[in-house]
A and B are shown apart, each in its own frame.
Chain A
């Protein structure tokens, strides 16, 4: 094992420790969690997971979240690609200010915006739909995607574009067959981060939904109110929340780890 891999190895160990603890908690009852210090559950129980898999409010929560998060990721990245290209290759009136304005949408604490958002989406008749949350999340995901993609696009020399045109590619042929594979790492990372930020966002998701599209967020905060703090249940829910995201990053891992050779044969 090369020495330099020691750092990521230690770091990952550090990351896994609390996750193991989370796993640990998920198999315990709340009483045991708060009552004793045990490295492995004394009274091992599947109850928490059973509750989640059998109670419709719980598992629909996951499904609803998945739906709007996937909608949002696809929408954000698709819309961001041409915009990032424009920011990277063209100069136009107000481009620098527009670019910064985009990011400024991530600079406000969401708490105070919950009510105005509710009013807005109710007014357009989108309250309690998946599309509402998917759209609302574009507020912070689209700027992120644009910024990330622009950063990667700027690393590709403009000469690549010109060479492709000389070779006879149309703009879209070049964009889809040459350019996007070249920035594959950026696309992979943008997709993953959009998924992630939308997936963990609780406030807007909760505010804009009630029954039809209720996300896992709402159900999870419920555990903090009814019968005190159901820690075991919360832990199990937390463990299960990791799973879809792990799939996503596994899915895009080849894009993230892909380099490019700069040039043809």
Chain B
């Protein structure tokens, strides 16, 4: 159990990095509380796996320090940091039985057989592997193998943090949610710090207490799933999270009011600044048809089960909104209004507070 601090870390895979693009991680400072469930979320190439490997000790940061419980662990090996990691593809010892796979980390640490047996059976029961312990590990399906990988991390009592590197990638879709719930349940039970890397927002949002959204080697926003949804601090967060993503409309500010193509829009706070590259952001969930407001042309309706996604156009911009099933959707021309509580202004991508 440990608190982890990543302090001003920059990392490059090049021996002599020249430009900004040579740095996989540009400047990361991150603090993970003891026992928390964190997700590192972002698209391919954003540096989340790099960050994960830096925390676990499989990589040494080019710059910066990493602290476990206040102690400098930057030079420590993964073994010394007492971490466990579940990889994207199941990594198991094919020639051993499931029992021996789970016992392996403990035996390497010279625990007595009786204790090993007890721990192995306890974890096996938690992961529902206890009936097949004597079977050869190579015969299992992908999700079974990932459970073994996970189990090898759980058997050790001294584990500070468990890292997951996109562990559900190879799992069958209908088994994914099962494993996901299992992970959440496990986290509640054993309260170890867990850091989960993924590019799938559903996984991140359902698993984590705190989500760390990353892009191009930087942390864009850290927050609970709700915070990220309701208050995206960056346009990237707005459009990456949520399905469909946030609407972004270019706007101007004149005398403390935001104007989108000439139409005044009420926003969360009254605005004083003006400037370039201003965008107005509002999620489709917070847009609704109204008697008056912004005039739009309804162009497309897509059925998404419980609600429908309606695409409209205003002055060349697309505005999407969600309409619950059963409600009428006007055709042709209509008006939409935005919930001012959830309408934000962004400058150069970042939210203006």
Contacts and interface: CB of A to CB of B under 8 A. Distances in A.
Contacts of B44: 264-265
Interface string A40-77: 00000000000000000000000000000000000000
B142 A263 contact: no
B47 to A, nearest CB: 8
Contacts of B45: 265
A55 B57 CA distance: 63
B140 interface: no
Interface stretch (B165-173, B288-296, B298-306): B165-173
Interface residues of B, number: 14
B350 interface: no
B142 A265 contact: no
A263 B48 contact: no
Interface string A141-165: 0000000000000000101101100
Interface in B41-99: 44-46, 48-49, 87-90
Nearest to B170: A159
Interface in B327-343: none
A12 interface: no
Given A265-B45, A265-B46, A162 B88 contact: no
A123 interface: no
Contacts, number: 29
B49 A163 contact: no
A156 to B, nearest CB: 10
A265 B49 contact: yes
A93 to B, nearest CB: 25
B55 to A, nearest CB: 16
Majority secondary structure of chain B interface residues (helix, strand, loop or mixed): loop
A10 interface: no
Interface in B157-184: 165-166, 169-170
B46 A263 contact: no
B87 A262 contact: yes
Given A163-B169, A163-B170, A262 B46 contact: no
A265 B170 CA distance: 15
B17 to A, nearest CB: 18
Among A157, A159, A262, A265: residue with most chain B CB under 10 A: A265
A258 to B, nearest CB: 15
Contacts of A264: 44, 88, 166
A52 B191 CA distance: 77
Interface string A244-265: 0000000000000000001111
Nearest to B43: A265
A225 B266 CA distance: 101
A162 B87 CA distance: 17
A262 B170 contact: no
Nearest to A265: B44
B48 A262 contact: no
Contacts of B87: 262-263
Interface in A218-265: 262-265
B92 to A, nearest CB: 11
Contacts of B90: 157, 159
Given A157-B170, A264-B88, 7 more contacts: A162-B170, A262-B89, A263-B88, A263-B89, A263-B165, A265-B45, A265-B49
Identify the 5 closest CB pairs spanning chains A and B, nearest first.
A159-B170, A263-B88, A265-B44, A262-B89, A265-B45
Interface of B: 44-46, 48-49, 87-90, 142, 165-166, 169-170
Interface of A: 157, 159-160, 162-163, 262-265
17 contacts: A159-B89, A159-B90, A162-B170, A163-B169, A163-B170, A262-B87, A262-B88, A262-B89, A263-B88, A263-B89, A263-B169, A264-B44, A264-B88, A264-B166, A265-B44, A265-B46, A265-B49
